[in-house]
Structure 1
Amino acid sequence: MTENIMLPFLTELRDNNTLDWMHAHKDRYQQALQQFTEVLERLIALLGEDEPALLLLDAKRLISRLNRDTRFSHDKSPYTAAFRGHISTAGKLPIPGGYYLHLAPGGSFLGGGVPAAPFADAVSMVRDYICAHGSEWDEITGAPAFQPHFTMVGEKLKNVPRGYDPAFPQAEALKYKSWIIECPIADEALADPEAFCQSAADIFRLMRPFNAYLNTALRDFQMPQRPKK
């Protein structure tokens, strides 16, 4: 891969977030999007060395659109100035958890875990699993390879939810409604996309025990089906 053209494009989009600007720079957008696709393809190849099921994924189908739904937002900017991709056997679906890549000027990060909050059944499944496997939770989140890299950022209650023991050793983990971790990425780390892919794959590998724990908790979860029209 050549030098990073993704962040320069996203920086200008952030500062010129209009339909007219995007239309005038469509070619640059396509070039930057192609590079982001190549980054995802490279990450899939690296992670697939230990997770062969990932090798079947089509990187293009894992990328979120830049277009924003502004119908109910005070911010009418038409685009999200970020490239986002979720590497998971379920594609862009939030469950099971996978590896999330978010590239934005001054705000890039690698993510893992599950955004369970919209699904009450999923939240209950994870909480109940933590109650039954609390020591394993502590082993994963307290591991020396975990704590220096990741921060828990998921939606969280102020108090332990009703029906759970506030004195439970892992009570703090039960307050979450989404169990999400993030590792920030400096803009400078993206200067060489190939080197970035190598380091990002290493970080993603450190997420595997956390993702596996949550995905085991959610092994019987079924995504709600959209009503047929």
Structure 2
Amino acid sequence: MDITCILDYLTHLEQNNSREWYHAHKEEYKTASAGFEALIRELIFRLGETDSSILHLEPKDLTFRLTRDTRFSHDKSPYNTAFRAHIGPMGKLPVPVGYYLMIKPGGRSFLGGGLFADMFKDATAMVRDYIAEHPDQWEAVITAPAFAESFTVLGTSLKNVPAGYDKTHPQAQYLKYKSWYLEYPISDALLCSGEKFTELAARVFTQMQPFNRFLNTALADFKMPERP
């Protein structure tokens, strides 16, 4: 797979973010998109050795469209200038949580995991409750050497521990969160290093698995809201 062509395409799209340019360069898009899907397929294969829940997935079902919804945005650029995918047990749905990949030129790419979406109040409550009830298990996950050497838990957070939770709880810091996720930054040079990048991505995603399993256990009864 040629990730250089992905970065080149996205760089040119960022410089020429218009419908006219996009439609005039459809062949370049198809080549870059095919390379991205090949990368996703390779990661599914490698991660499937330790996470069989994703082996049934097809790369084309995991990617997000470049087209932006600009109705409520001051930025009227019609396209996202990143290739993104979520490799989760239910595909690209945010729950169950899985492995997130964003390729964006200029050192803005990253590997991610966990719950990024903080708009689902039920999901937030389920994770908070599970952390509150299993503080030692949460502590073991986030302080394990293989985890701590690569990640810091990120997420949108309240100023105070929400009502109904013990303010002196040993995991009070994380009870403030509305989302719990990980980001591992990737340079352009590493992206273009071929097998070296694929091996690193597989290793980093594997290190996320205990974190993802904890969240997915907490979210076992979560149902995605139905669209009106």
**TM-score of the aligned structures, taking structure 1 as reference length:** 0.95
| CA distance in structure 2 between the partners assigned to 1:77 and 1:20 by the alignment | 12
Deviating runs (4+, > 4 A) in structure 1? Answer: none
1:136-161 per-position Cα deviation (integer Å, ceiling 9, x unaligned): 11111112211231233321111111
1:165-215 per-position Cα deviation (integer Å, ceiling 9, x unaligned): 111110000011011111111111111333312110100000000000000
Which amino acid is the alignment partner of residue 66 of structure 1? L
Which amino acid is the alignment partner of residue 13 of structure 2? L
- Matched position secondary structure for 1:181: strand
| CA distance in structure 2 between the partners assigned to 1:146 and 1:9 by the alignment | 33
| Unpaired stretches in structure 2, ≥5 consecutive residues | none
| CA distance in structure 1 between the partners assigned to 2:73 and 2:27 by the alignment | 28
Which amino acid is the alignment partner of residue 14 of structure 1? E
Say yes or no: does 1:83 pair with 2:83.
yes
- Matched position secondary structure for 1:152: coil
Which amino acid is the alignment partner of residue 174 of structure 1? L
- Matched position secondary structure for 2:100: strand
- Matched position secondary structure for 1:34: helix
- The residue that corresponds to 2:34 in the other structure is 34
> How far has the Cα of 1:45 moved from its partner?
0.4
Q: Contact 1:4/1:192 (CA < 8 Å) preserved in 2?
A: no
Q: Contact 2:122/2:222 (CA < 8 Å) preserved in 1?
A: yes
> How far has the Cα of 1:50 moved from its partner?
1.8
Q: Contact 1:2/1:192 (CA < 8 Å) preserved in 2?
A: no
- The residue that corresponds to 1:221 in the other structure is 222
Which amino acid is the alignment partner of residue 90 of structure 2? A
Question: Superposed, which structure 2 residues align to 1:6-85 within 5 Å?
Answer: 6-85=6-85
1:62-106 per-position Cα deviation (integer Å, ceiling 9, x unaligned): 000000000000000011100000001111111010000010012
Which amino acid is the alignment partner of residue 127 of structure 2? V
Q: Contact 2:3/2:36 (CA < 8 Å) preserved in 1?
A: no
Which amino acid is the alignment partner of residue 190 of structure 2? A
| Residues paired across the two proteins, number | 227
**TM-score of the aligned structures, taking structure 2 as reference length:** 0.96
- The residue that corresponds to 1:209 in the other structure is 210
1:105-144 per-position Cα deviation (integer Å, ceiling 9, x unaligned): 1200000001342111111111110011101111111122
| CA distance in structure 1 between the partners assigned to 2:2 and 2:126 by the alignment | 44
| CA distance in structure 2 between the partners assigned to 1:93 and 1:20 by the alignment | 31
> How far has the Cα of 1:224 moved from its partner?
1.4
Residues 3, 82 of structure 1: alpha-carbon distance in 2 compared, 3 angstrom cutoff: closer
What root-mean-square deviation, in Å, do the aligned CA atoms of Structure 1 and Structure 2 show? 1.2
| Unpaired stretches in structure 1, ≥5 consecutive residues | none
| CA distance in structure 2 between the partners assigned to 1:13 and 1:116 by the alignment | 27
Question: Superposed, which structure 2 residues align to 1:171-210 within 5 Å?
Answer: 171-210=172-211
Say yes or no: does 1:129 pair with 2:124.
no
Identity %: 53
| CA distance in structure 2 between the partners assigned to 1:117 and 1:93 by the alignment | 13
Which amino acid is the alignment partner of residue 91 of structure 1? G
